[in-house]
Amino acid sequence: MFISGMSGNEIYCLRLKGIEPAEITVGNSVRSLGVAGGLSSFGRSLAGGEIGAITEMISEGRHAAIQRMEDEARKHNATGVTGVVSELRTLAGYTEFLAQGTSVNDTRGTLPFFSSAASGIELYCHLDAGYRPMKFVMGNIAYALGVGRGLMGSVRTLARGEVHEFSSMYNQIRHTALNRLKEEAARAGANAVVDVNVQMLPHGPGTVELLLTGTASHHDGISPGPVSAAQVVTSELSGEELWNLTQLGLVPHQLVMATSVYSLGVVGGIGALFQGLARGELTEVTKLVYEARENCLELIRKEAQQIGAERVIGNKLQIREIGSGMIEVVAVGTAVRRGDDRFKTETAQLIPQAVIVDKGSERSGAAISTIAPAIAPMQVANQGAQMAGNQAVGCIVSIVVFGFIMMVSLVAALLEAVNR
Protein backbone atom coordinates (compact mmCIF):
# COMPACT_ATOMS: atom_id res chain seq x y z
CA MET A 1 0.00 0.00 0.00
CA PHE A 2 1.45 3.35 -1.02
CA ILE A 3 0.25 6.90 -1.68
CA SER A 4 1.28 8.41 -5.03
CA GLY A 5 0.90 11.93 -6.36
CA MET A 6 0.82 10.76 -9.98
CA SER A 7 -2.18 10.96 -12.28
CA GLY A 8 -3.41 8.13 -14.47
CA ASN A 9 -1.76 9.65 -17.54
CA GLU A 10 1.58 9.89 -15.77
CA ILE A 11 1.42 6.29 -14.58
CA TYR A 12 0.50 5.07 -18.07
CA CYS A 13 3.32 6.99 -19.77
CA LEU A 14 6.03 5.91 -17.32
CA ARG A 15 4.98 2.26 -17.45
CA LEU A 16 5.88 2.30 -21.15
CA LYS A 17 9.43 3.16 -20.01
CA GLY A 18 9.47 0.48 -17.31
CA ILE A 19 8.95 2.93 -14.45
CA GLU A 20 6.34 2.35 -11.71
CA PRO A 21 5.10 4.88 -9.10
CA ALA A 22 5.82 4.48 -5.40
CA GLU A 23 5.45 6.50 -2.19
CA ILE A 24 5.30 10.31 -1.92
CA THR A 25 8.54 11.56 -0.37
CA VAL A 26 9.18 14.76 1.59
CA GLY A 27 12.21 16.51 3.01
CA ASN A 28 12.43 19.75 4.98
CA SER A 29 14.80 22.07 6.83
CA VAL A 30 13.96 24.94 9.21
CA ARG A 31 16.64 27.61 9.38
CA SER A 32 17.43 31.00 10.87
CA LEU A 33 19.66 33.69 9.44
CA GLY A 34 20.93 34.60 12.91
CA VAL A 35 21.71 38.01 14.40
CA ALA A 36 25.08 38.48 12.68
CA GLY A 37 23.74 37.33 9.34
CA GLY A 38 20.71 39.58 9.71
CA LEU A 39 22.84 42.64 10.42
CA SER A 40 25.23 41.98 7.54
CA SER A 41 22.30 41.34 5.20
CA PHE A 42 20.68 44.61 6.22
CA GLY A 43 23.86 46.50 5.47
CA ARG A 44 24.30 44.71 2.15
CA SER A 45 20.70 45.44 1.17
CA LEU A 46 21.42 49.16 1.53
CA ALA A 47 24.38 48.87 -0.85
CA GLY A 48 22.36 46.86 -3.38
CA GLY A 49 23.13 43.80 -5.47
CA GLU A 50 23.43 40.24 -4.20
CA ILE A 51 22.92 39.63 -0.49
CA GLY A 52 25.35 36.77 0.01
CA ALA A 53 24.20 35.69 3.48
CA ILE A 54 20.59 35.26 2.34
CA THR A 55 21.58 33.53 -0.90
CA GLU A 56 23.73 31.09 1.06
CA MET A 57 21.04 30.40 3.65
CA ILE A 58 18.36 29.78 1.03
CA SER A 59 20.67 27.58 -1.03
CA GLU A 60 21.72 25.52 1.99
CA GLY A 61 18.13 25.17 3.19
CA ARG A 62 16.79 24.09 -0.20
CA HIS A 63 19.61 21.60 -0.76
CA ALA A 64 19.21 20.11 2.73
CA ALA A 65 15.49 19.57 2.12
CA ILE A 66 16.17 17.98 -1.28
CA GLN A 67 18.82 15.67 0.16
CA ARG A 68 16.45 14.48 2.91
CA MET A 69 13.72 13.89 0.32
CA GLU A 70 16.12 11.75 -1.73
CA ASP A 71 17.23 9.87 1.41
CA GLU A 72 13.60 9.11 2.24
CA ALA A 73 13.07 7.77 -1.30
CA ARG A 74 16.04 5.47 -0.87
CA LYS A 75 14.52 4.17 2.39
CA HIS A 76 11.48 3.16 0.34
CA ASN A 77 13.90 1.29 -1.97
CA ALA A 78 12.96 3.65 -4.80
CA THR A 79 15.24 4.28 -7.77
CA GLY A 80 14.18 7.86 -8.39
CA VAL A 81 11.94 10.82 -7.52
CA THR A 82 9.83 12.71 -10.05
CA GLY A 83 7.80 15.93 -9.92
CA VAL A 84 10.20 17.48 -7.38
CA VAL A 85 9.22 20.93 -6.11
CA SER A 86 11.17 23.19 -3.74
CA GLU A 87 9.17 25.57 -1.57
CA LEU A 88 9.96 28.20 1.04
CA ARG A 89 7.65 29.00 3.95
CA THR A 90 7.63 31.01 7.17
CA LEU A 91 7.23 28.96 10.33
CA ALA A 92 7.19 30.54 13.83
CA GLY A 93 9.34 33.39 12.57
CA TYR A 94 11.85 31.07 10.95
CA THR A 95 12.21 29.86 7.37
CA GLU A 96 11.16 26.33 6.43
CA PHE A 97 12.44 24.80 3.21
CA LEU A 98 10.31 21.98 1.82
CA ALA A 99 11.05 19.51 -0.98
CA GLN A 100 8.45 17.05 -2.21
CA GLY A 101 8.09 14.51 -5.01
CA THR A 102 6.85 11.04 -5.91
CA SER A 103 9.32 8.19 -5.70
CA VAL A 104 9.42 5.69 -8.56
CA ASN A 105 10.97 2.31 -9.36
CA ASP A 106 12.81 1.50 -12.57
CA THR A 107 11.76 -2.12 -13.24
CA ARG A 108 14.25 -2.47 -16.11
CA GLY A 109 17.20 -1.47 -13.96
CA THR A 110 18.66 0.82 -16.62
CA LEU A 111 18.61 4.07 -14.63
CA PRO A 112 20.78 4.88 -11.60
CA PHE A 113 19.09 6.76 -8.75
CA PHE A 114 17.82 10.12 -9.95
CA SER A 115 15.64 13.08 -8.93
CA SER A 116 13.73 15.13 -11.48
CA ALA A 117 11.61 18.28 -11.61
CA ALA A 118 9.63 16.72 -14.46
CA SER A 119 6.17 15.25 -14.06
CA GLY A 120 5.58 11.66 -15.18
CA ILE A 121 4.43 12.89 -18.60
CA GLU A 122 7.41 15.21 -18.99
CA LEU A 123 9.80 12.46 -17.93
CA TYR A 124 8.37 10.11 -20.56
CA CYS A 125 9.05 12.73 -23.26
CA HIS A 126 12.59 13.35 -21.98
CA LEU A 127 13.45 9.65 -21.95
CA ASP A 128 11.97 9.09 -25.40
CA ALA A 129 14.00 12.02 -26.76
CA GLY A 130 17.21 10.60 -25.25
CA TYR A 131 17.58 12.76 -22.11
CA ARG A 132 18.41 10.52 -19.13
CA PRO A 133 17.51 12.20 -15.78
CA MET A 134 20.22 12.51 -13.14
CA LYS A 135 19.45 15.11 -10.48
CA PHE A 136 17.12 17.93 -9.51
CA VAL A 137 19.31 21.06 -9.66
CA MET A 138 18.88 24.73 -8.87
CA GLY A 139 20.58 28.10 -9.16
CA ASN A 140 19.51 31.06 -7.06
CA ILE A 141 20.45 34.56 -6.01
CA ALA A 142 18.96 36.88 -3.37
CA TYR A 143 19.34 40.55 -4.16
CA ALA A 144 18.18 44.07 -3.32
CA LEU A 145 18.04 47.22 -5.39
CA GLY A 146 19.99 49.21 -2.80
CA VAL A 147 19.80 52.85 -1.76
CA GLY A 148 22.49 54.14 -4.13
CA ARG A 149 21.23 52.44 -7.25
CA GLY A 150 17.65 53.23 -6.21
CA LEU A 151 18.40 56.94 -5.94
CA MET A 152 20.24 56.98 -9.25
CA GLY A 153 17.42 55.09 -10.87
CA SER A 154 14.82 57.42 -9.37
CA VAL A 155 16.62 60.45 -10.77
CA ARG A 156 16.93 58.67 -14.11
CA THR A 157 13.17 58.11 -14.21
CA LEU A 158 12.66 61.86 -14.59
CA ALA A 159 13.84 61.43 -18.19
CA ARG A 160 12.09 59.26 -20.75
CA GLY A 161 13.76 56.03 -21.90
CA GLU A 162 15.61 53.02 -20.53
CA VAL A 163 16.73 53.07 -16.89
CA HIS A 164 20.10 51.38 -17.36
CA GLU A 165 20.80 51.17 -13.60
CA PHE A 166 17.88 48.78 -13.22
CA SER A 167 18.17 46.93 -16.55
CA SER A 168 21.85 46.09 -16.11
CA MET A 169 21.38 44.83 -12.55
CA TYR A 170 18.43 42.61 -13.44
CA ASN A 171 20.23 41.15 -16.47
CA GLN A 172 23.36 40.42 -14.44
CA ILE A 173 21.33 38.75 -11.69
CA ARG A 174 19.48 36.46 -14.10
CA HIS A 175 22.68 35.27 -15.74
CA THR A 176 24.34 34.71 -12.35
CA ALA A 177 21.50 32.38 -11.31
CA LEU A 178 21.68 30.58 -14.67
CA ASN A 179 25.44 30.04 -14.33
CA ARG A 180 24.95 28.56 -10.86
CA LEU A 181 22.32 26.18 -12.25
CA LYS A 182 24.77 25.02 -14.93
CA GLU A 183 27.60 24.64 -12.41
CA GLU A 184 25.49 22.40 -10.21
CA ALA A 185 24.50 20.28 -13.23
CA ALA A 186 28.13 19.93 -14.28
CA ARG A 187 29.09 18.75 -10.78
CA ALA A 188 26.40 16.06 -11.08
CA GLY A 189 28.02 14.82 -14.29
CA ALA A 190 25.20 16.08 -16.55
CA ASN A 191 25.52 17.81 -19.91
CA ALA A 192 22.02 19.34 -20.05
CA VAL A 193 19.34 20.89 -17.82
CA VAL A 194 15.81 20.46 -19.15
CA ASP A 195 12.40 21.77 -18.01
CA VAL A 196 14.00 24.85 -16.40
CA ASN A 197 11.53 26.82 -14.27
CA VAL A 198 12.17 30.53 -13.58
CA GLN A 199 10.71 32.12 -10.46
CA MET A 200 11.06 35.49 -8.73
CA LEU A 201 10.08 35.18 -5.08
CA PRO A 202 9.86 37.93 -2.42
CA HIS A 203 12.06 37.31 0.61
CA GLY A 204 11.58 40.00 3.24
CA PRO A 205 11.43 43.79 2.83
CA GLY A 206 13.25 44.95 -0.28
CA THR A 207 14.78 41.52 -1.01
CA VAL A 208 13.94 39.17 -3.87
CA GLU A 209 15.11 35.65 -4.68
CA LEU A 210 15.52 34.63 -8.29
CA LEU A 211 15.26 30.82 -8.43
CA LEU A 212 15.97 28.57 -11.41
CA THR A 213 15.23 24.85 -11.06
CA GLY A 214 15.38 21.99 -13.54
CA THR A 215 16.45 18.41 -14.21
CA ALA A 216 20.14 17.78 -14.80
CA SER A 217 20.24 15.18 -17.56
CA HIS A 218 22.62 13.42 -19.92
CA HIS A 219 22.22 13.04 -23.66
CA ASP A 220 24.76 10.94 -25.56
CA GLY A 221 24.39 13.23 -28.58
CA ILE A 222 25.68 16.24 -26.66
CA SER A 223 28.77 14.53 -25.27
CA PRO A 224 29.85 11.01 -24.27
CA GLY A 225 30.58 12.11 -20.71
CA PRO A 226 30.57 15.07 -18.30
CA VAL A 227 31.23 18.60 -19.59
CA SER A 228 32.22 21.92 -18.09
CA ALA A 229 29.56 24.28 -16.75
CA ALA A 230 29.93 26.53 -19.80
CA GLN A 231 29.07 23.61 -22.10
CA VAL A 232 25.92 22.52 -20.26
CA VAL A 233 22.83 22.84 -22.47
CA THR A 234 19.77 24.49 -20.87
CA SER A 235 16.14 24.56 -21.96
CA GLU A 236 12.82 25.77 -20.52
CA LEU A 237 10.77 23.93 -23.16
CA SER A 238 8.08 21.50 -22.01
CA GLY A 239 8.58 17.76 -22.48
CA GLU A 240 6.42 17.46 -25.58
CA GLU A 241 8.06 20.56 -27.09
CA LEU A 242 11.47 18.98 -26.55
CA TRP A 243 10.24 15.75 -28.15
CA ASN A 244 8.80 17.60 -31.18
CA LEU A 245 12.00 19.63 -31.49
CA THR A 246 14.02 16.41 -31.70
CA GLN A 247 11.70 15.12 -34.42
CA LEU A 248 12.31 18.33 -36.41
CA GLY A 249 16.08 17.88 -36.21
CA LEU A 250 16.61 20.77 -33.77
CA VAL A 251 18.14 20.62 -30.30
CA PRO A 252 18.20 23.13 -27.42
CA HIS A 253 21.34 25.17 -27.02
CA GLN A 254 20.83 27.67 -24.23
CA LEU A 255 18.20 29.38 -22.12
CA VAL A 256 18.31 33.09 -23.03
CA MET A 257 16.90 35.87 -20.85
CA ALA A 258 16.74 39.66 -21.05
CA THR A 259 15.22 42.55 -19.10
CA SER A 260 14.45 46.13 -20.13
CA VAL A 261 13.32 48.75 -17.62
CA TYR A 262 11.86 51.92 -19.13
CA SER A 263 10.52 55.14 -17.65
CA LEU A 264 7.88 57.41 -19.14
CA GLY A 265 9.60 60.42 -17.63
CA VAL A 266 8.06 63.62 -16.30
CA VAL A 267 7.61 65.28 -19.70
CA GLY A 268 6.13 62.19 -21.30
CA GLY A 269 4.00 61.64 -18.21
CA ILE A 270 2.54 65.13 -18.42
CA GLY A 271 1.72 64.57 -22.09
CA ALA A 272 0.08 61.22 -21.32
CA LEU A 273 -1.80 62.83 -18.44
CA PHE A 274 -3.37 65.45 -20.70
CA GLN A 275 -3.98 62.88 -23.46
CA GLY A 276 -5.77 60.71 -20.93
CA LEU A 277 -8.36 63.43 -20.42
CA ALA A 278 -9.63 62.89 -23.96
CA ARG A 279 -10.68 59.74 -25.74
CA GLY A 280 -8.04 58.15 -27.99
CA GLU A 281 -4.58 56.57 -28.07
CA LEU A 282 -1.96 57.54 -25.50
CA THR A 283 0.88 58.01 -27.97
CA GLU A 284 3.72 58.40 -25.47
CA VAL A 285 2.76 55.31 -23.50
CA THR A 286 2.26 53.28 -26.69
CA LYS A 287 5.73 54.21 -27.94
CA LEU A 288 7.34 53.52 -24.56
CA VAL A 289 5.90 49.99 -24.26
CA TYR A 290 6.81 49.23 -27.88
CA GLU A 291 10.41 50.46 -27.44
CA ALA A 292 10.84 48.46 -24.23
CA ARG A 293 9.66 45.26 -25.95
CA GLU A 294 11.84 45.82 -29.00
CA ASN A 295 14.91 46.51 -26.87
CA CYS A 296 14.29 43.36 -24.82
CA LEU A 297 13.89 41.20 -27.93
CA GLU A 298 17.04 42.68 -29.45
CA LEU A 299 19.00 41.68 -26.34
CA ILE A 300 17.67 38.12 -26.73
CA ARG A 301 18.58 38.10 -30.43
CA LYS A 302 22.16 39.29 -29.76
CA GLU A 303 22.71 36.72 -27.01
CA ALA A 304 21.49 33.89 -29.24
CA GLN A 305 23.74 35.04 -32.09
CA GLN A 306 26.77 35.18 -29.80
CA ILE A 307 26.39 31.51 -28.84
CA GLY A 308 25.85 30.40 -32.44
CA ALA A 309 22.17 29.50 -32.18
CA GLU A 310 19.97 29.20 -35.24
CA ARG A 311 16.81 30.68 -33.70
CA VAL A 312 15.00 31.32 -30.40
CA ILE A 313 11.76 29.45 -29.78
CA GLY A 314 9.21 29.37 -26.98
CA ASN A 315 9.93 33.02 -26.24
CA LYS A 316 7.71 34.54 -23.57
CA LEU A 317 7.26 38.26 -22.96
CA GLN A 318 5.93 39.72 -19.73
CA ILE A 319 5.35 43.35 -18.87
CA ARG A 320 4.66 44.77 -15.44
CA GLU A 321 4.81 48.08 -13.65
CA ILE A 322 7.51 48.26 -10.98
CA GLY A 323 6.66 51.68 -9.54
CA SER A 324 7.68 55.31 -10.07
CA GLY A 325 6.19 55.35 -13.58
CA MET A 326 8.47 52.51 -14.74
CA ILE A 327 7.71 49.32 -16.62
CA GLU A 328 9.78 46.14 -16.78
CA VAL A 329 9.73 43.86 -19.81
CA VAL A 330 11.13 40.33 -19.36
CA ALA A 331 11.84 37.94 -22.22
CA VAL A 332 12.73 34.26 -21.74
CA GLY A 333 13.21 31.69 -24.49
CA THR A 334 15.33 28.76 -25.64
CA ALA A 335 18.01 29.25 -28.30
CA VAL A 336 18.19 26.17 -30.54
CA ARG A 337 20.55 24.80 -33.18
CA ARG A 338 20.52 22.13 -35.87
CA GLY A 339 21.14 18.60 -34.56
CA ASP A 340 22.66 15.52 -36.21
CA ASP A 341 21.74 11.85 -36.42
CA ARG A 342 22.56 11.33 -32.75
CA PHE A 343 19.42 13.26 -31.80
CA LYS A 344 16.33 11.19 -32.47
CA THR A 345 13.30 9.86 -30.59
CA GLU A 346 12.75 6.22 -29.69
CA THR A 347 9.18 6.27 -30.98
CA ALA A 348 7.99 7.70 -34.30
CA GLN A 349 4.82 9.19 -32.84
CA LEU A 350 4.14 10.84 -29.46
CA ILE A 351 1.39 8.95 -27.65
CA PRO A 352 -1.87 10.87 -26.84
CA GLN A 353 -1.42 10.40 -23.09
CA ALA A 354 1.77 12.47 -23.29
CA VAL A 355 -0.03 15.56 -24.56
CA ILE A 356 -3.22 15.40 -22.48
CA VAL A 357 -3.18 17.98 -19.69
CA ASP A 358 -4.60 16.51 -16.48
CA LYS A 359 -7.62 18.40 -15.12
CA GLY A 360 -6.90 20.55 -12.09
CA SER A 361 -3.14 20.31 -12.52
CA GLU A 362 -0.43 22.46 -14.04
CA ARG A 363 2.29 21.13 -16.25
CA SER A 364 5.79 21.46 -14.88
CA GLY A 365 8.49 23.32 -16.76
CA ALA A 366 8.39 26.29 -19.08
CA ALA A 367 6.99 28.53 -16.36
CA ILE A 368 7.90 32.06 -15.45
CA SER A 369 6.66 33.33 -12.11
CA THR A 370 7.17 36.95 -11.13
CA ILE A 371 6.62 38.94 -7.96
CA ALA A 372 3.47 40.48 -9.41
CA PRO A 373 1.32 39.31 -12.30
CA ALA A 374 1.62 40.92 -15.71
CA ILE A 375 -0.46 44.10 -15.97
CA ALA A 376 -2.64 44.99 -18.91
CA PRO A 377 -1.20 47.75 -21.14
CA MET A 378 -4.11 50.12 -20.46
CA GLN A 379 -3.64 49.66 -16.72
CA VAL A 380 0.03 50.47 -17.15
CA ALA A 381 -0.93 53.54 -19.16
CA ASN A 382 -3.38 54.81 -16.58
CA GLN A 383 -1.08 54.17 -13.64
CA GLY A 384 1.96 55.50 -15.49
CA ALA A 385 0.18 58.70 -16.42
CA GLN A 386 -1.05 59.12 -12.87
CA MET A 387 2.44 58.55 -11.48
CA ALA A 388 3.97 60.96 -13.97
CA GLY A 389 1.34 63.52 -13.08
CA ASN A 390 2.18 63.12 -9.42
CA GLN A 391 5.87 63.58 -10.23
CA ALA A 392 5.10 66.69 -12.21
CA VAL A 393 2.98 68.13 -9.38
CA GLY A 394 5.78 67.34 -6.96
CA CYS A 395 8.30 69.17 -9.15
CA ILE A 396 6.04 72.21 -9.43
CA VAL A 397 5.48 72.30 -5.67
CA SER A 398 9.24 72.03 -5.09
CA ILE A 399 9.89 74.93 -7.48
CA VAL A 400 7.24 77.10 -5.78
CA VAL A 401 8.63 76.34 -2.32
CA PHE A 402 12.20 76.99 -3.49
CA GLY A 403 11.12 80.31 -5.05
CA PHE A 404 9.29 81.34 -1.89
CA ILE A 405 12.35 80.61 0.24
CA MET A 406 14.57 82.59 -2.12
CA MET A 407 12.15 85.50 -2.06
CA VAL A 408 12.01 85.53 1.75
CA SER A 409 15.79 85.42 1.91
CA LEU A 410 16.06 88.32 -0.54
CA VAL A 411 13.56 90.43 1.46
CA ALA A 412 15.43 89.69 4.67
CA ALA A 413 18.71 90.75 3.05
CA LEU A 414 17.17 94.02 1.78
CA LEU A 415 15.72 94.84 5.22
CA GLU A 416 19.10 94.16 6.82
CA ALA A 417 20.75 96.52 4.31
CA VAL A 418 18.20 99.27 5.00
CA ASN A 419 18.66 99.00 8.76
CA ARG A 420 22.38 99.51 8.33
Per residue in 246-258, pLDDT (tens digit) is: 999 999 999 999 9
* 324 within domain boundaries: yes
pLDDT digits over 290-344, tens only? 888 999 999 999 999 999 999 999 888 888 877 656 788 999 999 999 999 899 9
- CA dist 68 and 113 (Å) reads 14
- CA dist 96 and 229 (Å) reads 30
Among 52-66, 129-143, 390-404, the range scoring the smallest mean pLDDT is 390-404
Buried b / exposed e along 79-92 (16+ C-beta atoms within 10 A): bbbbbbebebeeee
Q: For residue 121, is pLDDT > 80?
A: yes
pLDDT digits over 336-395, tens only? 999 998 999 999 999 998 887 766 554 443 444 443 443 333 333 334 334 444 444 444
61 vs 414, higher pLDDT: 61
* 139 within domain boundaries: yes
Q: What is the pLDDT of residue 14?
A: 95
Q: What is the pLDDT of residue 33?
A: 62
pLDDT digits over 200-242, tens only? 887 766 678 899 999 999 999 999 999 999 999 999 999 999 9
* Stretch (H or E) spanning 12: helix 8-15
Q: What SS3 state is found at 180?
A: helix
* Stretch (H or E) spanning 199: strand 192-202
1 vs 74, higher pLDDT: 74
Question: Which residue range(s) make up the domain with 337?
Answer: 8-419
* 333 within domain boundaries: yes
pLDDT digits over 33-46, tens only? 654 444 444 444 55
Percent of the chain with pLDDT over 70: 70
Q: What is the pLDDT of residue 403?
A: 61
Who's near 126: CB < 8 A, 6+ residues apart? 116, 118, 133, 194, 195, 215, 217, 239, 242
* 247 within domain boundaries: yes
Domain count, the chain: 1
* Stretch (H or E) spanning 363: none
* 292 within domain boundaries: yes
Q: Which of 1, 57, 48 is nearest to 29 (CA)?
A: 57
Q: What are phi and psi of 87, to 5 degrees?
A: -120, 160
Among 349-353, 373-377, 403-407, 410-414, the range scoring the smallest mean pLDDT is 373-377
Among 49-63, 96-110, 351-365, 402-416, the range scoring the smallest mean pLDDT is 402-416
Q: For residue 11, is pLDDT > 70?
A: yes
Q: What is the pLDDT of residue 286?
A: 82
> pLDDT class for 106, splitting at 50, 70, 90?
very high
* 237 within domain boundaries: yes
Per-residue pLDDT, averaged over 115-130, amounts to 95
* 2 within domain boundaries: no
* 346 within domain boundaries: yes
418 vs 263, higher pLDDT: 263
